Structure 1
Amino acid sequence: MPERIAVIGLGYVGLPTALLFAGAGVDVLGVDINPELVAALNAGQCPVEEPGLPELLKEVRATGRFRVTRQLESRDVYIITVPTPLDRETGGSDLTAVRKAAEAVAEVAQPGQMVILESTVPPGTLERLVRPIIESRVEGLDYVFSPERVLPGRILIELPGNPRLIGAASPRAAERARALYATFVRGEIRITDPTTAELVKLMENTYRDVNIALANEFALAAERVGVNVWEAIELANLHPRVNIHRPGPGVGGHCIAVDPWFIVERAPLATALIRQARTTNDRMPVVVAERVEELTVGRRPGRGPAGGEAGDEFRAAAGDGFRAAAGHGSGVATGDGAGTAGAAPGGEAGPSPAAPAAANGAPGALRSGGIRPGGVKVGLLGLAYKGNSDDSRESPAYVLARILRSRGFDVVAYDPLVRRGPLPSATLEETARGAHILVLVTDHDRFREIDPAAVRELVARPVLLDTRNHLDHQRWRAAGFEVHVLGDGKVRWAWSGAAGAAGPAAAGPEAAGAGVAGAAGHLAGTGSPGSGTLHRG
């Protein structure tokens, strides 16, 4: 007789997992403590933005094999897929949801049943926390740790197709879990012990975090020596044993930005490289904020509005997120790091004021007009931590917004996919109107459909900072935009030379003038994402 399972936690991973099991013929009880989510699912509404998921929900609901409730019932198998965020006070893992899920299982479990933990946790959590809680009430269960390995936007492809790791506490648990996952997993299934599987999951994401940190340092170095890091990475990756990741404005999401700390938590004296990579990636929003300030009001990079170091300002702006990092002894570097990352390329060896003007043209008037940040509007393109996803957890966009606002800038953001978060998403028109700089933070494909000529009619100053090297820069320049790219030292050197030679100009925030007013009528009704003349097609 097939196993009857309960999936506890119906979020980005739990819901797709439950639906794939149900689609494979398994009787599934979905359990979540969020009453709105439960009501939505019971009404046939899919609360998770993921290609193919609404259709799969409709399909399995029709079979009667998927039921959703807030109350856990006794089942053959309990799969725990609850959140494990970073504890903002201690800097370690917050296992509150795992503990509560284990307590709920203990209330209904019977001997012979099986518990599978899928939530990402510090090594040893299954044996040290979950199992003792349940065995305090009932013994004779099988225990397994089996992590997911998926990419948002491809979850329904990768959950069945990727290799599946099963960390089992006994041979019986291993074979039982293998048979269960084989109902929908087509990838290779490998068996190990629970603690090894827990560490493997963390190693996978930590590898990526360290690689991204390396790419970010390459980007900052490239800006100092006058090299386009995107070209350099492409050429370096031609080497058959080199795979440098892409730099960017910071690392977000519930995995890469969080999981490395779970290793540090268990081995604090053996993880200096992991700590440094986290610090490097966490300071990237500061680097971007310095660039914004440099490209608008022209303040000397590395100093805050009151003369404090950029690292100090990041501590105040990032709040709890930074304190979590600081708990691990990883402050924001201010010497050759965040405090100087926005400095003129090459430091003392940078270009002279007589250097040739950049291909972008002369620097914008704000930079030499003495405008204070309080009169400058920054339009952020993107709130999600990665492209083509609605997931904005731990997104660097929010940290960047807090830093900019702490420096006195007005910040408005547009994201066509993110519907909720600490910074509400405005329309593209609202974000662009009167902006003195647009900053591409998230590499959504939808942003490539934006019509830069229409946006040019709205902005106060046509300046674009692309932190992902994502947009068609030739199109934006053709529309009259001054385009800057994080890590492009060639343009940065040339622009710095032009900035040094630029004379004062009188334009300011009011420069939007009649052009913005005229464009408003032309672009009326373009508030919904992807509609109207702000987008091509």
Structure 2
Amino acid sequence: MTLESAGNHRVGIIGLGYVGITLAAAMARNGYEVHGVDVQPAVVDALGRGKPQVFEPGVEDVFTTHIGKNIFVSTELPAEIDAAIISVSTPVDPSTHAPDLRNLAAAAETIAKHCSPDTLVVVRSTVPVGASREVVLPPLLAAWGSARLVMAPERTIQGQALRELVELPQVIGGLDAESLDRGLELFGGLCKQLVPVSTLETAELVKLTNNCHTDVIYAFGNEIAMLTERLGLDPLEVVRATNLNYPRPDIAKPGYVGGGCLSKDPYILLSAADRSGHVPRLVAAARTLNETLPAHVAERVVGLMQQDGGSTVAVLGWAYKGSPPTDDMRGTPIAEMTPIFEAAGIRVLGNDPVVSDDVIRAYGGEPVDLETGLQAADAVLVITDHPKYRQLDVKRAFGGSKIRLVFDSWRILDADAITTLGVRYAGLGFEPGVAL
């Protein structure tokens, strides 16, 4: 299928956060004419100069090459576009965890004002089941009398978005048959595989199911780590032996669970389920466990440091993950950790290969280069598995230093080399030699 035959080649993308920017880059690279819209002038100005405000491999190169050619950015949606794609944020309230759909509603109103019934409207944002029909559709019908509407959820992972936007199957649910056909035509010029589903609501639930399932899988690995910590066992040994040549679903390694999706999408699902009269207990329990893990680790690090009289910790990795690398701080473990360190009177030094010094300061750390941090610290807490940390020469990094503790959350360092230097080594669910 070609863009000419599809008739959906001129698209507007409302919301230029991570989802909108990566989609804009992928579509532009595939020949679409992309008009990106955002209400933040600073974002529009930066993108107009080819400088995305988020880190994602390949995106800046695409914007630098295509801006002003087939990528255009503005604070206003242009008229006469073939498709208007909503990719605004749908946060949850930090206290109640209720979804905030004001951005979604505002985007729908903007489209209703600037576009026409011939425009295909695409919901790309993650929303509660029913939101496309209940929040987006009414202003379109009020303005036009009829509408073409699809839900086509974004399902990429940070660090691989441009590849996955092309390679992952694109799920599409339509308001009616004509809407679905238009949606399939639109994404047929981008994706290798299209998965039509029967309704808008089905597509909405697909996205939530993907992320909630992931959250549950990770939570089980963390549950095992909480148990091995108390039993004096090694969770990685348990996981390896459990998975080896066993023809059942693998157990995940323990680890922090954050990011823009996994830290909020379970709450969006819980909200939709509550309206239907069902309580997804497994989803709720998994989210609670994963959210309490960072504070649990910080308390363990404080306890171990107090045994040795340490007062300064070097934290390696401030984004929510390190591989693939990202600068995304949504759901980052450090947000729950620094208040615990501060309350214990522990000085926090911060290093991250991607996150800026200003962001490290904003989260309560003192930015340092890696060598300086390791020389000044009594303890090291590795939060992410960034390739730079994986490559750390342990003997050179810790030899001759005053470091007495290394808490290696992802177990990426050479534990034997560290303990040979007389340094205590621990990790998630793994604290050998510690009396509980």
TM-score by length of 2: 0.90
**Which residue of 318, 340, 348 maps to 1:383?**
318
Question: 1:376 corresponds to which letter in structure 2?
Answer: S
1:104-183 superposed matches below 5 A: 104-183=110-189
Give % identity: 33
Distance 2:196 2:412 in 1: 37
Three-state SS of the structure 1 residue aligned to 2:250 is coil
Three-state SS of the structure 2 residue aligned to 1:86 is coil
**Which residue of 463, 467, 489 maps to 2:405?**
463
Question: 2:408 corresponds to which letter in structure 1?
Answer: D
Aligned to 1:449: 391
Distance 1:257 1:46 in 2: 23
Aligned residues between the structures:
418
Gaps of 5+ in 2: none
1:236-247 superposed matches below 5 A: 236-238=242-244, 239-247=246-254
TM-score by length of 1: 0.74
User: Would the aligned equivalents of 1:8 and 1:81 in 2 still touch at CA under 8 Å?
Assistant: yes
Distance 2:59 2:156 in 1: 14
Distance 1:270 1:255 in 2: 20
Gaps of 5+ in 1: 299-364, 367-374, 498-537
> How far does residue 459 in structure 1 lie from its aligned partner after superposition?
4.7
Three-state SS of the structure 2 residue aligned to 1:461 is coil
> How far does residue 135 in structure 1 lie from its aligned partner after superposition?
2.2
* Residues 370-389 of structure 1, C-alpha deviations (whole Å, 9 max, x = no match): xxxxx711211111111221
Deviates more, 1:425-434 or 1:37-46: 425-434
Aligned to 2:293: 284
**Which residue of 198, 223, 232 maps to 1:217?**
223
* Residues 268-292 of structure 1, C-alpha deviations (whole Å, 9 max, x = no match): 3422221111111111112202211
Higher radius of gyration, 1 or 2: 1
* Residues 93-120 of structure 1, C-alpha deviations (whole Å, 9 max, x = no match): 1112212211211211212211101001
User: Would the aligned equivalents of 1:163 and 1:190 in 2 still touch at CA under 8 Å?
Assistant: no
Task: Please tell me the root mean square deviation across aligned C-alpha atoms, in Å.
Answer: 2.0
Aligned to 1:315: none
Distance 2:376 2:70 in 1: 53
**Which residue of 290, 295, 309 maps to 2:304?**
295
> How far does residue 454 in structure 1 lie from its aligned partner after superposition?
4.2
> How far does residue 39 in structure 1 lie from its aligned partner after superposition?
1.4
Question: 2:252 corresponds to which letter in structure 1?
Answer: H
Deviates more, 1:436-445 or 1:420-429: 420-429
Question: 1:408 corresponds to which letter in structure 2?
Answer: G
Distance 1:406 1:479 in 2: 30
Aligned to 1:516: none
* Residues 424-444 of structure 1, C-alpha deviations (whole Å, 9 max, x = no match): 643224433432211011111
Distance 1:83 1:58 in 2: 25
Change (3 A) 1:253 1:283: same
Three-state SS of the structure 2 residue aligned to 1:166 is strand
Aligned to 1:65: 70
Indicate whether 1:394 and 2:331 are aligned. Answer: yes
Aligned to 1:316: none
Aligned to 2:40: 34
* Residues 314-351 of structure 1, C-alpha deviations (whole Å, 9 max, x = no match): xxxxxxxxxxxxxxxxxxxxxxxxxxxxxxxxxxxxxx
Aligned to 1:340: none
Three-state SS of the structure 2 residue aligned to 1:464 is strand
Indicate whether 1:233 and 2:168 are aligned. Answer: no
Three-state SS of the structure 2 residue aligned to 1:262 is helix
User: Would the aligned equivalents of 2:86 and 2:123 in 1 still touch at CA under 8 Å?
Assistant: yes
Distance 1:159 1:496 in 2: 49
> How far does residue 478 in structure 1 lie from its aligned partner after superposition?
4.5
Aligned to 1:311: none
Indicate whether 1:496 and 2:435 are aligned. Answer: yes
User: Would the aligned equivalents of 1:31 and 1:72 in 2 still touch at CA under 8 Å?
Assistant: yes
Aligned to 1:206: 212
User: Would the aligned equivalents of 2:299 and 2:340 in 1 still touch at CA under 8 Å?
Assistant: no
* Residues 376-420 of structure 1, C-alpha deviations (whole Å, 9 max, x = no match): 112111111112211111211221112221332222221111125
User: Would the aligned equivalents of 1:109 and 1:138 in 2 still touch at CA under 8 Å?
Assistant: no
User: Would the aligned equivalents of 2:34 and 2:72 in 1 still touch at CA under 8 Å?
Assistant: yes
> How far does residue 452 in structure 1 lie from its aligned partner after superposition?
3.1
> How far does residue 172 in structure 1 lie from its aligned partner after superposition?
0.8
Distance 2:232 2:299 in 1: 18
**Which residue of 195, 199, 215 maps to 2:201?**
195
Aligned to 1:404: 341
> How far does residue 232 in structure 1 lie from its aligned partner after superposition?
1.1
